[in-house]
Homo-oligomer: A and B are copies of this chain.
Amino acid sequence: MKTKSIPDIIISRLPLYLRSLQRMQEENRKVTSSQELGERLGISAAQIRKDLSQFGEFGKQGTGYNIDYLLDQLLKILHVDQEWDIVVVGAGDIGSAVARYRGFKNRGFKVKMIFDNNTSRIGTKIGNYIVNDSRNLIDMIKTNRIKIAMIAVPAVHAQEVAEQLVEAGIKAILNYAPINLIVPDGVYVQYIDPSIHLQRMTFYL
């Protein structure tokens, strides 16, 4: 599968296609079209066909896409045909909500452990997890060979935590702290900051 030179913008849309297809599969649907996907996602049918064609031939002209097959291929392309363990750093409101979040099921992810540096939180239970001491962060991540982490600590500590995670071998970070992280090449960061999303809309209001 040639995936070397696929533009990042195309990759960023694949999870949306995957999510829509998973919903269709839950609805016991068998076949869809770029038109239908486009309407569900607010993306043009032509764009969807072009995006998917980067990875091979998934549908025949006029007959649409086989949902099970396309879904299977997208799971493989995005490497979520396996389940990735995730570590959560920060056991405050956001970290706790993320650790208990049931939406990771069937999406390729599983929270494996959660850390905090606050002695009043260490040892307490969040859902099925016991909050671990951040002092053991690097060792435990290395031992469990975890590659993905979420940062849910105050902004002022986020860069320091990111550096520990990188040292521990983490390759992908989802950062809930409202600050940009500086990480080495080969480590990927995505950001969730509700204020940023809101400000992208208030411009238009």
**Contact surface of A with B, Cβ cutoff 8 Å:** 3, 11-12, 14-16, 18-20, 23, 40-42, 77-80, 84, 86, 93-94, 96-98, 100-101, 103-104, 107-109, 147-148, 150, 155, 171-172, 174, 178-180, 182, 188, 190-205
Decide if B174 touches A194 in the complex (CB within 8 Å): yes
Decide if B108 touches A171 in the complex (CB within 8 Å): no
Decide if B108 touches A198 in the complex (CB within 8 Å): yes
Give the complex CA separation of A109 and B200 in angstroms: 13
Other-chain residue from B18, B101, B201 in contact with A194 (beta carbon distance below 8 A): B101
Decide if A80 touches B201 in the complex (CB within 8 Å): no
Given contacts A172-B198, A194-B174, A195-B108, contact A93 B97 (CB under 8 A): yes
Decide if A202 touches B16 in the complex (CB within 8 Å): no
Residues of B contacting A78 in the complex (Cβ-Cβ under 8 angstroms) = 199, 202-203
Decide if A197 touches B180 in the complex (CB within 8 Å): no
Residue of B nearest to A148 (CB): B198
Give the complex CA separation of A98 and B179 in angstroms: 17
Given contacts A16-B180, A96-B93, A179-B23, contact A11 B194 (CB under 8 A): no
Give the complex CA separation of A86 and B191 in angstroms: 21
Decide if B147 touches A205 in the complex (CB within 8 Å): yes
Residues of B contacting A194 in the complex (Cβ-Cβ under 8 angstroms) = 98, 101, 103-104, 150, 174, 192
Residue of B nearest to A196 (CB): B15
Decide if B180 touches A190 in the complex (CB within 8 Å): no
Given contacts A84-B202, A97-B96, A198-B172, contact A178 B103 (CB under 8 A): yes
Give the complex CA separation of A96 and B205 in angstroms: 26
Residues of B contacting A94 in the complex (Cβ-Cβ under 8 angstroms) = 97, 101
Decide if A14 touches B100 in the complex (CB within 8 Å): no
Give the complex CA separation of A188 and B109 in angstroms: 29
Residues of B contacting A104 in the complex (Cβ-Cβ under 8 angstroms) = 194-195
Decide if B79 touches A196 in the complex (CB within 8 Å): no
- Give me 11 A-to-B residue pairs in the complex whose CB atoms sit less than 8 angstroms apart, sorted by A's number: A11-B203, A12-B200, A19-B178, A79-B203, A93-B100, A94-B101, A148-B205, A150-B194, A190-B201, A191-B197, A192-B197
